[in-house]
Structure 1
C-alpha cells in the first residue's frame, strides 16, 4: 500500500531539528511519494538539498506563494522563471490568491497568478493552487484558461460542493488533508458526491495536522489518518483510497 503526499513543506524550518527522522517516519508509514511546493526564492537551496537527499521519493515544484507577493514580486517571478530553465520540476506551485491576511497586494497576486499559469501551460506542467478567502478571485482567473491544457490541484480545498464541482469542471483535482478530519471542517459532509478520481491526499505539513494531532506540528507520516477518514466518507477501504489517490497523483504530475 503506497501513499502519496501531494503537498508537503518538508524543507520547513519546523523540521530543522529532525528532518531525517520525520522523513523516515513517513516512509515507515507507507508514504513513498512527496510533492513539495515552493514559497519563494529564500527556500530554493533547502528544496534542492532535499531533492538531492531523497531523489526517488521527493518531487519539487517551483512558484511564488501568494502571501509572499510583495514589493519585490517581479524579482521573485524572475527567480521562478530562471528555475524553470535550470532545474526539473513536476508542477508550478503553490500559486494563487490569499486575501486572509491582507488585500494590499491583491492586484499583484492576481498578476503573479496569471503569469505563472501561463508558464505552466508553456512548460506543460500542472499547477498547485493556494486559495484563502479568495474563491471568487481564483475562479475568475481560472475561467480565463477554460478550454486550455491547464490542470492541477486545488490545494487544501475548503470550499462547498458547488465550488468543488466548479474546480473539477476546470480540470482541478481536490487536495484533501487534515481539514477533512475536523469536526467543523464541513467538506466531509459532501465530499462523497465528488468522484474519487478527482481526489488526492495531502498534509500541507507542518500545517493543518489531522485529528488527533490538530494544533500540533503536522508531518507526512499522518497521511494514513487522512486516508482513513476518506475511507469512511467514501465507504471503502483505506487500501482503495491509497491506490486511487496515488494513481490520481501519477496522472497529474506524470511521475
Structure 2
C-alpha cells in the first residue's frame, strides 16, 4: 500500500537524533511520499537538505506560518517566500493561514500575509495548504474574496464542523485528516462519513498530534497507518482502498 503524508515536519529538531530511522520506519509502513510545509526561513536549509537526500520521496512547500507572522520580521519573511517561489519549483504554498489561538494582536498582519501568499500561489499555479485555528470565519471570508479557478488546496488538520467542511469542499479544498480523528473528543469522526473520501488527504503533522494510542508523544509519519485503519472503520472500507483513494487525491493536488 502506497501512502502519502501530505503534511509532516520531519525537519523539526525533535527528529535530530533519529531522523533517518524515522523516515525508514515510515517507508517500511508504506509511506512513500512526504510533503514538508514551511514555517519560516530559518528551517529552509534543513528542508532543502532532506529534499536532496530523498529526491524521490520528499517534496517541499514554501510559505510563512501564521504563528510566525511577527511585526518585526513578516515583511522580510514574505520576501524570502516570494524569492524562493521565483527560483525553483515547490509542491505548494504552505503552511499559511490564520491562528488566533496564541495571539490575536497580529490578526491584521496575519491577514495581509495570508492574502499575499494566496496571490503568490495563484501566480505560480500552486495549491495552498491552510492552517486555521480559532479563525474559521475569517479564513472563509478571505477565501471567498480571493476565490477563482486558480485557488485550491488543503485545509490542513481539519477540526471544524460538518457545515464548515462542506463549505471548504465547495470552495475547491480537500480536508487534511490526521491524528485528531482518533481522539475521543476529536468530534470529526462523528460526521466524517458524510464527507466523500474523494475529498480527503492523509497527514500526520509530525511531530505534533500523534494519534491514539500515542497521543501526547512525538508523532511520526509511520503512524499514518493508524489513520488509515481508523478511516477504514469509519468508511467501512478496506485499508488498501483508503490508501489508494487518498493517495490519488494527493497526486491531484500536488502536481510534482
- Aligned with 1:144: secondary structure? helix
- Alignment map for 1:34-73 (pairs within 5 Å): 34-71=34-71, 72-73=73-74
**Aligned residue pairs: how many?**
255
Q: Which residue of 1 aligns with 2:157?
A: 156
Q: Give a deviation string over 1:162-219, Cα, whole Å, max 9, x none.
A: 0000010110100000000000000000011111110000000000000110000000
Q: Give a deviation string over 1:3-23, Cα, whole Å, max 9, x none.
A: 100000010000000000000
- Alignment map for 1:1-255 (pairs within 5 Å): 1-71=1-71, 72-255=73-256
Q: Distance in 2 between matches of 1:170 and 1:124?
A: 16
How far residue 242 of structure 1 moved from its aligned partner, in angstroms, is: 0.3
- Aligned with 1:59: secondary structure? strand
Q: Distance in 2 between matches of 1:10 and 1:216?
A: 15
Q: Distance in 1 between matches of 2:255 and 2:74?
A: 29
How far residue 85 of structure 1 moved from its aligned partner, in angstroms, is: 1.4
- Aligned with 1:115: secondary structure? helix
What is the RMSD computed on CA atoms of the aligned residues?
Answer: 0.6
Q: Identify unmatched segments of 5+ residues in structure 1.
A: none
How far residue 87 of structure 1 moved from its aligned partner, in angstroms, is: 2.2
For normalisation by structure 1, the TM-score amounts to 0.99
- Aligned with 1:211: secondary structure? coil
Q: Identify unmatched segments of 5+ residues in structure 2.
A: none
Runs of 4 or more consecutive aligned structure 1 residues displaced over 3 Å after TM superposition:
none
Q: Distance in 2 between matches of 1:227 and 1:23?
A: 18
How far residue 86 of structure 1 moved from its aligned partner, in angstroms, is: 1.6
- Aligned with 1:32: secondary structure? strand
How far residue 254 of structure 1 moved from its aligned partner, in angstroms, is: 1.2
Q: Distance in 1 between matches of 2:96 and 2:169?
A: 18
Q: Distance in 2 between matches of 1:215 and 1:145?
A: 37
Q: Distance in 2 between matches of 1:47 and 1:89?
A: 12
Q: Distance in 1 between matches of 2:87 and 2:45?
A: 13
Q: Distance in 2 between matches of 1:4 and 1:228?
A: 15
Q: Distance in 2 between matches of 1:161 and 1:120?
A: 27
